[in-house]
Amino acid sequence: MTAATPMLEMVKIGKTFPGVRALDNVTLDLFPGEVHALVGENGAGKSTLMKVLSGVYSHPNYDGEISINGEPRRFRNVHEAEKAGIAIVYQELSLVPEMTVGENIFLGREPRRFGVIDWETLYERASVLMRDLQLDIDPRTKVIELGVGKQQLVEIAKALSHEARILVLDEPTAALTEAEAETLFRILASLRTRGIGMVYISHRLAEVFKLSQRVTVLRDGRTIATHATSDLDEQRVIAMMVGREVSQLFPSIARTSGEVIFEAKNISSEDPNVPGKYLVRDVSFSVRKGEVLGIAGLMGAGRTELLATLFGCYPGRTTSQVFVEGRKVEINNPADAIANGIAFVTEDRKRSGLVLEQTILRNITLAALPKVSGRVVTNEEREVAAGERIFRNLQVRANSLFTIAGTLSGGNQQKVVLGKWLMINPRVLFLDEPTRGIDVGAKQEIYAEIDKLAQAGLAVVMVSSELPEVLGLSDRILVLHEGQITGEFTRANATPEAVMACATGQAVHA
Amino acid sequence: MSTPTKTPVERPPMTADLAPAGTRKALFSASAIRSYTMVIALVAVWIIFTAITDGIFLEARNFSNLMRQTAVTGILAVGMVMVIIAGHIDLSVGSLVGVTGMCAVLTQATLGWGLVPSLLAGLFLGLVIGALQGSLVAYGKIPSFIVTLGGLLAWRGATKGISEGNTVPIQVVAFKRIGQAYLPATAGWILAAVAIAIILWLTLRRASSRKQHGLVPWSAASIAARIIIPSALILGLVVAFNNYAGVPIPVVILIAVALAGAFITQNTTFGRYLYAIGGNSEAARLSGINLKSHVLATFCILGVLAGISGIIYTARVGAAAPDAGTLLELDAIAACVIGGASLMGGRGTVFGACLGALFMASLDNGMSLKNVPDFIQDIVKGGILVSAVGLDFIGRRRD
């Protein structure tokens, strides 16, 4: 970090979306061989900033200037940014599952001989790359056969194969096991010695403090501060990220739980792609009326699979025993679950929560249509009246019930999904990453709503990767690690470190 | 949340002109605009053809023929649009028209069955094939394109087989009347009166339902428009038909099918679920909708409608030919798509599909009047299909 000129300077970057100023006057610079951590809550603008850098948001669709090695650059598309040496490894993997590792790495730039792809050279170069990074992966393996963690490492190798000088990593360890994360850290260390600059986006402050030389904190689209990592501690970073006492983000909880309303026993779920491998292994738990049960864990711990199994929509083989209000029930499909008063807000609202091209009204009434509109013939007036009630209750910000769902912001879309499930009058509500991709303001509203629902007696099971959220909202917390429960905490005895330790498999807490 | 009071007036003000927006939004929604564009295009085509045929195009006799010609494609399109809305496709309906018509005629000719049993046999065959294909798609998870492509070949083969390659003439006169006869004038007026009465009743019922649920009530002008416009159209149609020979039976059947189809898609839970399944099958599934049974039902409906079309087609021709209905599926699909349906699913209306069918039939009819060679007619129809959808896409992308 001794170079005088930064290899990258982003100066006064601004980006506006309809109704939202996602970035405002943001500055970030990067020196060769530096790991510069970029932290902030979901919605703070980190991904937007990186999309500006990588050319996804091209010039002139943003304000401010980007300079590489002192030279101002204006990327008109991703390709130009790539050629300038910028590579991003996204959280969502962009590999083609049915193609091999080698094919993926060189996708679009395959070495050719006489106009035809030169497979030998391709696989040789891929092998060299794997060896270089000390990855034990055969480049002829199909990506779909690799675990998520290895896929992530392949993604990184792919970015590096572009001869990137600036590498951006967005939550790189979210899907990695301990061992794979160590591999990653080793790779990053060696990249540092080669003078490659890295922007490291992560929620895991432990990693941030371990790996980075400087930290930039974003909040609500603005740069709050940039400091040398050694000058900071976790408390200060969190305070800057949130901008207020963490506890104020969450409603102060004065709830009492009632009797057990939902019980799951011996839940096991088999990986549909890999027979014999279990993603959920003999998990049992119960939830009480008016209780918020948080389920923490890393990506791949089996939390979503657990909820999917209990809701009857898991694609693989499962064994389970489910009890609602003390009675054993059979849940073989979502209709069974709904009939028993179970609701499920999935983690990807666009893919599995909403019919984006339809109106809010049609989305909100979708799960309860027979009850709210008519069993055979629909009654639009009854439907509108019911939709109206929920629309107002949840304070959905849209012009009317007839606004198309796809035009809403993330937070409002999530409210519509929540509204759909509230319309079935559930006894148990499953939430999977309820505030993913939602701005801070809407988050607060959703937290308040969850609290309100719990106070009214609803049992809530909330899966979340955001520790503050889990710690701030839950009455009890379960921690899953590789399909098993490794920790159970109450509000009183839960700490971020203890929960994290169980999530990473380092500890077990009864 | 305040509890609703008995007097609607005391309810809190609606979400930002929610209820008027209901009307306004309905008038200006994307699918409404699509329908207007279609109607305008249709009227434009009619004007053009009337002009270049020295007025023959819209003469009573030709108008009657035109409407009659629309019937077969129109009935198929009503069923097809439901399948398309649900996210699937059925390429076999042309062959179904052939095989069901042939079945009906053969049961009369070789088995000596009466009119009603033989017609029922044809319809039943359509239902069975629809159920078979639907099961393969819904439960067998085979793509509908493949299943129905196989069906297209197989059922055409079956038609040729059971007829031994012969065209079988219809002997039962009553059968031919289905395709060739007309309603007596009085019957036409009675039907029109009944239809108008129903429109009146439905509109008033909905208006009171709005008040009951506390939505902003329709203005008198709005109610009047909702009653007068459709009624005028119905009267106009009956006048036009009675000017020639009365309402053609195939048209009566088409209108009945179209109304039923429109009702199912717009006013039933079943129809609503079809749109959800086609729009986002994953979200639909997770909302508790049974995808399989709905998809199966949709193919069954189309199968029966193909049977009805087959009967009308055969009745009009007066005989069952082994190649009857060839390529009819393409006309049906084109009608749906021109009418605003998206082959990706989740979008489309029965009204649009019928307009699309009428549009295509108008092109056919007009070009035939001008003795345009068949091959040019095909080229023109192909070009218009692509343009219509292309323009629609460009318009949508700009939103």
Cis preceding-peptide flag for A60 (omega within 30 of 0): yes
Is B352:B38 a contact under the CB 8 Å cutoff? yes
pLDDT value of position A181:
82
Angle between helices B115-138 and B93-109 (to 10 degrees): 150
Element (H, E) at A307: helix A303-311
User: Rounded distance, CA A494 to CA A476, Å?
Assistant: 9
Question: Does B276 sit within 8 Å of A388, measured CB to CB?
Answer: no
Question: Does B290 sit within 8 Å of A378, measured CB to CB?
Answer: no
Mean pLDDT over B298-324 rounds to: 96
Domain annotation for chain B: domains and CATH numbers = 69-181+270-399 (1.10.3470), 184-247 (no CATH)
**What's the pTM value of the predicted model, to 2 decimals?**
0.81
Residues in B touching A381 (Cβ below 8 Å): 206, 209-210, 212-213, 215
- Confidence tier at B399 by pLDDT (50, 70, 90): very low
Mean pLDDT over A95-99 rounds to: 90
In this structure, the strands spanning A35-39 and A197-201 are: parallel
pLDDT value of position A254:
74
Contact B281/A at CB under 8 A: no
Find, in chain A, the residue whose alpha carbon is nearest to that of B281. A352
Residues in A touching B18 (Cβ below 8 Å): 384, 388, 400-402
Cα dihedral across residues A483, A486, A491, A494: positive or negative:
negative
In this structure, the strands spanning B168-169 and A20-30 are: unpaired
- Which residues are registered as beta bridge partners of A29? A9
- Which residues are registered as beta bridge partners of A15? A23
User: Is the pLDDT score of A61 beyond 70?
Assistant: yes
Q: Give the contacts of A305 (CB within 8 A, at least 6 positions apart).
A: A269, A279, A280, A314, A483
In sequence order, what DSSP letters do the residues of A70-123 get, joined into one string?
Answer: TEEE--SSHHHHHHTTEEEE-SS----TTSBHHHHHTTT---EETTEE-HHHHH
Phi, psi of A167, deg, nearest 5: -115, 125
Contact B373/A at CB under 8 A: no
Q: How many CB pairs under 8 A join A and B?
A: 118
- Confidence tier at A17 by pLDDT (50, 70, 90): confident
Position A173, amino acid: T
Residue with tokens 């979210």: A174
pLDDT value of position B35:
73
Strands (E), A171-234: 197-201, 214-219, 222-228
What value does the mean pLDDT of chain B take? Answer: 88
Question: Does B287 sit within 8 Å of A381, measured CB to CB?
Answer: no
Find, in chain A, the residue whose alpha carbon is nearest to that of B14. A388
User: For residue A381, what are the CA distances in angstroms to A192, B206, B263, B290?
Assistant: 64, 8, 16, 25
Question: Does A400 sit within 8 Å of B16, measured CB to CB?
Answer: yes
In this structure, the strands spanning A8-17 and A20-30 are: antiparallel
* Three-state DSSP state, A395: coil
Instruction: Identify the residue among B28, B212, B215, B286 best suited for mutation to test binding to A, counting A beta carbons within 10 A and taking the highest.
Output: B286
Contact B279/A at CB under 8 A: yes
User: Rounded distance, CA B2 to CA B294, Å?
Assistant: 38
Question: Which range, A476-485, A494-503, B134-143, is most confident?
Answer: B134-143
B246-296 tens-digit pLDDT? 899 999 999 999 999 999 999 999 999 999 999 999 999 999 999 999 999
Which residue from A376, A385, A400 is facing B213, i.e. has the nearest CB? A385
- Confidence tier at A459 by pLDDT (50, 70, 90): very high
pLDDT value of position B15:
38
Is B58:B358 a contact under the CB 8 Å cutoff? no
Strands (E), A243-392: 260-270, 278-288, 292-297, 318-324, 327-329, 342-345
DSSP state, A351? I
DSSP state, B215? P
* Burial tier of B89 (Cβ tally within 10 Å: 0-12, 13-18, 19+): buried
Question: Which range, A249-258, A272-281, A345-354, is most confident?
Answer: A345-354
Residues of A with CB under 8 A from a CB of B: 311, 313, 333-335, 337-339, 344, 346, 351-358, 362, 366-367, 369-370, 373-382, 384-385, 388-389, 391-393, 399-402, 420
Q: Of A442-446, B160-164, B246-250, give the lowest mean pLDDT range.
A: A442-446
Tokens of B70: 């629309």
Residue with tokens 């087989």: B161
Residues in B touching A334 (Cβ below 8 Å): 285-288
B177-233 tens-digit pLDDT? 999 999 898 999 999 999 899 989 988 888 888 888 877 888 888 888 888 988 998
Question: Does B279 sit within 8 Å of A356, measured CB to CB?
Answer: yes
Is A24:A14 a contact under the CB 8 Å cutoff? yes
pLDDT value of position A317:
92
Q: Of A487-501, B15-29, B305-319, give the lowest mean pLDDT range.
A: B15-29
A394-424 tens-digit pLDDT? 989 888 899 999 888 888 999 999 999 999 9
- Ranges of H-type helices in chain B: 18-28, 30-52, 60-85, 93-109, 115-138, 144-163, 173-180, 185-212, 220-242, 249-267, 269-279, 281-286, 291-317, 328-338, 350-369, 374-397
B113: left (phi over 0), alpha (psi -120 to 50) or beta: beta
Cα dihedral across residues A54, A57, A58, A59: positive or negative:
negative
Which residue from A355, A385, A401 is facing B283, i.e. has the nearest CB? A355
User: Is the pLDDT score of A12 beyond 50?
Assistant: yes
pLDDT value of position B31:
64
CA distance A370 to chain B (A): 7
User: Is the pLDDT score of B380 beyond 70?
Assistant: yes
pLDDT value of position B395:
64
pLDDT value of position B1:
38
* Three-state DSSP state, A428: strand
B55-111 tens-digit pLDDT? 889 888 999 999 999 999 999 999 999 999 999 999 999 999 999 999 999 999 999
Position B251, amino acid: V
Is B95:B371 a contact under the CB 8 Å cutoff? no
pLDDT value of position A440:
67
Percent share of chain B, pLDDT over 70 = 91
User: Is the pLDDT score of A471 beyond 50?
Assistant: yes
pLDDT value of position A3:
55
Q: Of A57-71, A315-329, B285-299, give the lowest mean pLDDT range.
A: A57-71
User: Rounded distance, CA B116 to CA B120, Å?
Assistant: 6
Mean pLDDT over A169-191 rounds to: 82
Return the number of other C-beta atoms located less than 10 Å from residue A41's C-beta.
25
What ipTM does this complex have? 0.86
Domain annotation for chain A: domains and CATH numbers = 8-244 (3.40.50.300), 245-341+426-510 (3.40.50.300), 356-425 (no CATH)
